[in-house]
Structure 1
Amino acid sequence: MEVLNFRSDTQTLPTEEMLDAIRYAQLGDDVYGEDPTVARLEALAAEKMGMEAALLVASGTMGNLVSLMTHASGPGEALLVDPSSHIFRNEGGGLASIAGYFPIPISSRHGKLDPDEVAASVYEPDIHYPTPHLLCLENSHNRSGGRVTPLDLHKKLCSTARQHGLAIHLDGARIFNAAVAAGVGVSEYAAEVDSIQFCLSKGLSCPVGSMIAGSAEFIEKARFHRKRIGGGMRQAGVIAAAGIVALETMIDRLRDDHANARLLAEGLNTIPGLNVPMDAVETNIINVDHTGTGLSTQAVISKLNEVGVIVSPRAPTAIRMVTCRHTGEPEVTEALARIKQALQ
């Protein structure tokens, strides 16, 4: 029985074109700035974002951490962050333990922050409180089910942050998904922020790697912090080669993943005990409420494992399913049949 993996889009394997590019990549020592393939990827990433420069890092978590370290002027500064964001929940507490930030949580609604709450969370200078210096955003928003912050709201959030003297970092691990769903250029989101991180290894199908983009000065400082935490890589062109192919060929096809997520959600809603609000399906991630089955999340996962469908836990009454280029319409159709069988 073929295993159908809907756990995450991190499962994506490199395309044949990527493998060929890796095989024939020109290489050099990137710690010394001598890898021409890395240089080409960084220039391409900066161009895509409409920013001055970019930097290759090993992972999205590293990209976010390096960005926060670069923004910080010393330990104990505060940042505004959604407590359901990846930076806050899923990155080992690095924002505090390594970057030295005190987090001030601002809860989102469906993955979207409120500009008024951002403004209200910026304390007046007072010796009793840490002063916020940075606003962290996430788009698309993982835990909310891949929800997208529209460009107009993004601009309002960033404008509010600027009015209160805050720098802005965007965790754009899936920013290309967000931009495709919103029907705008990714550079329109990037234009409003000081730094952005995006992943190559999710829907874009690279085996590894993420990018940071920002001003030339910011990226030069980020390069130092990347080295400080052990992120300098030697012949990193073997990573960068796949990234170039991804940015040149894999962005537009993300809309296929979004369409397949909607197809999956529609089918799940026909299975007794499962519920997916269709207005919440904006990109390639869906949160599936299974309250009606009377089963725990782990019990649902176990039953689906038995029929070869892999998913991940989201909440005590919800699982997460993610589409990617390996889970197209045939795989969605087969998964729905198996899930119905497992839960009947």
Structure 2
Amino acid sequence: MLINLISDTVTKPTPGMLQAMMTAEVGDDVFKNDPTVNKLEEMMAGLFGMEAALFFPSGTMANQTAIKIHTQPGEQLICDKYAHVYNYEGGGASFNSGVSCRLVDGHRGMMTAGQVKEVINPPDFYHSPLTSLVCIENTTNKGGGACWDLEELRSIGKVCDEHHLKYHLDGARLWNALIAKNESTLDYGALFHTISVCLSKGLGCPVGSVLLGDKELIGKALRVRKVLGGGMRQAGYLAAAGIYALENNRERLAEDHRKAKEINFLLNGLPYIKKVEPTETNIVIFEIDEKQMTTADFMDKLNKNGIQIIGMGQNKLRIVTHMDYTDEMHGTFMDILPNL
């Protein structure tokens, strides 16, 4: 039995999702004539109480498009030092938009309104880049699936309003945060200028993210998506998976969170574990005590037992639970860990 805990992106479509995909009504989405894509975009906009939505091949492209429509070359965005838009999007902010990132040293990928306010460059000081955008990631990947406090997000939003800054949410795993904290999509839709949400992580779709905003911003995003090569033709087959996921796979994220917390609890009691980050959702980040067992030996033992996880750098390892990680796999993994 292969147990893949590298990421929640490794999931395969369920039979129900495949059936929805196979029976989807499709058209040419580049001409906005795919009825299933249009339905998904309308559904997403309605969920968040926002005017419009646009289907993208990937979350990275959705984030990079948001940065592009909110900034001009030479300007600067503010994000936490752990942010996905800075660490894991290939330098796209500088390559695609010509902007720099002002990094904030937050806690587990989360910064405060005060920290944001401190690093805004004076708009009349032309020696420094003009600050134009604040980017948030919820949940935080490098922060171990941590969930932001909604009131802190609102406070940062007020800072953005006061300083005439745009406010973007990288919500790749927002669905996890909503379940973990019992929050509403409408709360987030009322707060941000743009939101990207991923369908191919916890919700189990094979491909796809959606960018949300007002009609004017999404109109601009459509042009940027074209420039980036993100226009797809009969994309309704993929959008159908997204519709199915929204209707069937959101509540079950609690199961992933439960399993991740059980793994966290077990790791905390093992002698060869140096540190385990708090676990709120489906990501467990931890470090090996090199005096007890080397990280290389630990990874080798897992591989020999058919278990795959991933390194995050700086001696940190990551486990991500997901819908294809079954109860049987969970029991096996929990039996193997104490006996490595």
The TM-score, its normalising length taken from structure 1, stands at 0.95
TM-fit CA distance, 1:66:
1.0
Q: Match for residue 338 of structure 1?
A: 336
TM-fit CA distance, 1:190:
2.7
Rounded to whole Å, the distance in 2 between the matches of 1:3 and 1:132 is 47
Rounded to whole Å, the distance in 2 between the matches of 1:241 and 1:204 is 13
Q: Match for residue 327 of structure 1?
A: 325
Q: Match for residue 202 of structure 1?
A: 201
**2:73 counterpart (69, 72, 75):** 75
**Is 1:257 the equivalent of 2:243?**
no
**Is 1:90 the equivalent of 2:88?**
yes
Alignment of 1:1-344 (within 5 A): 2-72=1-71, 74-124=72-122, 125-274=124-273, 277=276, 280-291=278-289, 294-342=292-340
Rounded to whole Å, the distance in 1 between the matches of 2:54 and 2:75 is 24
Which SS does the other structure have where 1:98 is aligned? Answer: helix
| Cα deviation digits, residues 84-119 of structure 1 (max 9, x gap) | 111100000000111111111112212211111100
Which SS does the other structure have where 1:21 is aligned? Answer: helix
Please tell me whether the aligned partners of residues 82 and 108 of structure 2 are also in contact (alpha carbons under 8 angstroms): no
| Cα deviation digits, residues 59-82 of structure 1 (max 9, x gap) | 11111011111112x211111111
Uncovered stretches (5+) of structure 1, i.e. residues with no partner: none
| One-letter code aligned to 2:259 | N
Please tell me whether the aligned partners of residues 288 and 318 of structure 1 are also in contact (alpha carbons under 8 angstroms): yes
| Cα deviation digits, residues 140-171 of structure 1 (max 9, x gap) | 00001000001111111111121111100100
Rounded to whole Å, the distance in 2 between the matches of 1:314 and 1:121 is 27
Which SS does the other structure have where 2:218 is aligned? Answer: helix
| One-letter code aligned to 1:161 | C
TM-fit CA distance, 1:30:
0.5
TM-fit CA distance, 1:309:
0.9
Uncovered stretches (5+) of structure 2, i.e. residues with no partner: none
User: How many residues are treated as equivalent by the alignment?
Assistant: 339
Taking only the aligned residue pairs, the percentage that are identical comes to 37
| One-letter code aligned to 2:220 | K
| Cα deviation digits, residues 267-313 of structure 1 (max 9, x gap) | 222322125547x1100001022125544434322221111111000
Which SS does the other structure have where 1:281 is aligned? Answer: coil
Rounded to whole Å, the distance in 1 between the matches of 2:167 and 2:290 is 41
Task: Label 1:248 to 1:275 Cα distance change in 2 as closer, same or farther (>3 A).
Answer: farther
Rounded to whole Å, the distance in 1 between the matches of 2:116 and 2:15 is 45
Task: Label 1:293 to 1:253 Cα distance change in 2 as closer, same or farther (>3 A).
Answer: farther
Please tell me whether the aligned partners of residues 78 and 134 of structure 1 are also in contact (alpha carbons under 8 angstroms): yes
Bigger shift: residues 153-162 or 323-332: 323-332
Bigger shift: residues 296-305 or 313-322: 296-305
Rounded to whole Å, the distance in 2 between the matches of 1:233 and 1:126 is 43
Task: Label 1:321 to 1:259 Cα distance change in 2 as closer, same or farther (>3 A).
Answer: same
Please tell me whether the aligned partners of residues 260 and 328 of structure 1 are also in contact (alpha carbons under 8 angstroms): no
| One-letter code aligned to 2:87 | R
The TM-score, its normalising length taken from structure 2, stands at 0.96
Rounded to whole Å, the distance in 2 between the matches of 1:61 and 1:98 is 12
Rounded to whole Å, the distance in 2 between the matches of 1:139 and 1:11 is 20
